[in-house]
């Protein structure tokens, strides 16, 4: 029994591990920022360069903080969903990451879901937020604490199953 | 007439140069980026040593199997710039590592910390080695037992007799 049983058990265990490994998404990293205060920043507004934005501008209500750029194709893919979310009354702030003002303004012609947009041409604010792949979306609660992070484009399923319930839950807090 | 034209030319050139300069400022060229292979100057050898070690030990989060020093990704160039600036500002090695971990998580470390949730990562290979040694010892013991038992079992004796008969 041990002679054949043990190798079989070991083999099944190893195959099981390998099979689980196939399904693990190694590109999405857990963010150490979830559960912590939003990092402090200071940057110009995209369309209003005289206005300086700081982390205080995130407080006062539950919001999405969406990192995007005109050169980012998957940002274009999620853009209509953001516009739709804004129409439903969700507050969305933007971080225009490593972009130019002109390109970003062109990009927003198809719809502008953002209450304000931070302009971060060198990606410095992006580093503070641990941004490594656009688009990225954070959910920030009314106290300015990051409660959730998603890397990659938003899609209707994620919005319905995760984003909207969490926003509603945080608003009720 | 001729003079007016040349003034116009100068104005056009100035405008084009000005626009070009402005575009360059708002474009990708920024102080914080360090492309692969860009020569760097340090104030002391210790600073250079610290920088070179850190860019080899920290991982690029976009291109996950490259260290920062070899990656051409835009983010890697930005992070090299960040490490360079912090090093010149006199930041210690630990400070810079903590800065990166606070933003990108343990994943940026090629040398993960020794904690309860990384325990298997560190001792797993040794456990496997130990299991291998135990199996090996067991096999050796069985072989020794086989070699020591010289008495044939009744079945073995019968088989031997059959073989001899067939010859």
**CA–CA separation, B39 and A158 (whole Å):** 45
What ipTM score was computed for the predicted complex, to two decimals? 0.77
Q: Are B125 and B148 part of one and the same domain?
A: yes
pLDDT band of residue B7 (cuts 50, 70, 90) is low
**Closest residue, chain B, to A34 (C-alpha):** B103
Q: Are B61 and B24 part of one and the same domain?
A: no
**Closest residue, chain A, to B103 (C-alpha):** A130
**Closest residue, chain A, to B59 (C-alpha):** A132
What is the token pair recorded at A137?
């979306």
What is the token pair recorded at B101?
């971990």
Please write the tens of the pLDDT for every residue from A103-141: 999 999 989 999 999 999 988 899 999 998 889 999 999
For residues A78 and A57, the answer to whether their CB atoms sit within 8 Å is no
Partners of A125 on chain B (C-beta within 8 Å) are none
User: Is A137 in a helix, a strand, or coil?
Assistant: strand
Total of domains in chain B: 3
Q: Are B109 and B60 part of one and the same domain?
A: yes
pLDDT band of residue B114 (cuts 50, 70, 90) is confident
Mean pLDDT of B130-142: 92
Q: Is B99 on the interface with A (CB under 8 A)?
A: no
Partners of A31 on chain B (C-beta within 8 Å) are 105
For residues A70 and A106, the answer to whether their CB atoms sit within 8 Å is yes
Tell me the average pLDDT of chain B.
79
On the question of pLDDT at A3 being above 80, the answer is: no
Partners of A133 on chain B (C-beta within 8 Å) are 61-62
Q: Are B96 and B125 part of one and the same domain?
A: no
pLDDT of residue B15: 47
CB pairs under 8 A between A and B: 53
Q: Are B127 and B140 part of one and the same domain?
A: yes
CATH number at residue B102: 1.10.8.640
The model carries a pTM of 0.72
Q: Are B124 and B52 part of one and the same domain?
A: no
Give me the architecture of the A30-172 domain, per CATH. Answer: 3-Layer(aba) Sandwich (3.40)
Option in B64, B78, B102 nearest A32 (CB): B102
The residue to which tokens 């739709």 are assigned: A84
What is the token pair recorded at B2?
């001729």
Please write the tens of the pLDDT for every residue from B19-48: 444 433 333 334 478 888 788 888 888 899
Pick from B84, B86, B104 the residue to mutate for testing the A interface (most A CBs within 10 Å). Answer: B104
Domain enclosing residue B150, as ranges: 116-166
Q: Is B27 on the interface with A (CB under 8 A)?
A: yes
**Closest residue, chain B, to A121 (C-alpha):** B26
Q: Is B44 on the interface with A (CB under 8 A)?
A: no
For residues A155 and A81, the answer to whether their CB atoms sit within 8 Å is yes
Please write the tens of the pLDDT for every residue from A69-97: 999 999 999 999 999 999 999 999 999 99
């Amino acid at each position: 029994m041990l002679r054949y049983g043990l190798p079989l058990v070991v083999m099944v265990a190893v195959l099981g591990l390998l099979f689980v490994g196939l399904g693990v998404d190694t590109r999405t990293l857990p963010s150490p920022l979830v559960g912590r205060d939003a990092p402090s920043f200071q940057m110009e507004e995209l369309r209003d360069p005289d206005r300086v934005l700081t982390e205080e501008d995130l407080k006062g209500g539950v919001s999405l903080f969406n990192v995007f750029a005109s050169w980012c194709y998957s940002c274009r893919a999620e853009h209509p969903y953001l516009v739709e979310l804004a129409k439903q009354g969700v507050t969305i702030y933007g971080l225009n990451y490593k972009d130019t003002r002109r390109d970003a303004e062109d990009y927003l012609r198809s719809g502008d879901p953002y209450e304000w947009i931070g302009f971060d041409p060198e990606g410095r604010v992006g580093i503070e937020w641990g941004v490594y792949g656009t688009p990225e979306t954070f959910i920030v609660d009314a106290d300015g604490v990051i409660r959730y992070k998603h890397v990659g484009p938003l899609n209707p399923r994620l919005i319905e199953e995760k984003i909207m319930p969490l926003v509603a839950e945080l608003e009720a807090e | 007439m001729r003079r007016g034209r040349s003034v116009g030319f100068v104005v056009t050139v100035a405008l084009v140069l000005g626009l070009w300069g402005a575009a360059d400022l708002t474009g990708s060229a920024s102080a914080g980026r360090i492309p692969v292979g860009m020569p760097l100057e340090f104030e002391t050898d210790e600073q250079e040593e610290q920088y070179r070690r850190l860019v080899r030990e920290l991982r690029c989060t976009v291109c996950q199997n490259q260290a920062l020093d070899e990656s051409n990704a835009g983010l890697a160039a930005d992070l090299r710039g960040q490490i360079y600036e912090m090093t010149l500002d006199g930041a210690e090695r630990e400070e810079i590592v903590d800065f990166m971990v606070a933003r990108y998580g343990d994943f940026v470390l090629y040398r993960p910390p020794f904690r309860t949730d990384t325990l298997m990562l560190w001792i797993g290979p040794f456990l496997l080695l130990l299991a291998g040694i135990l199996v090996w010892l067991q096999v050796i013991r069985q072989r020794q037992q086989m070699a020591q038992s010289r008495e044939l079992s009744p079945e073995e004796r019968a088989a031997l007799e059959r073989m001899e008969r067939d010859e």
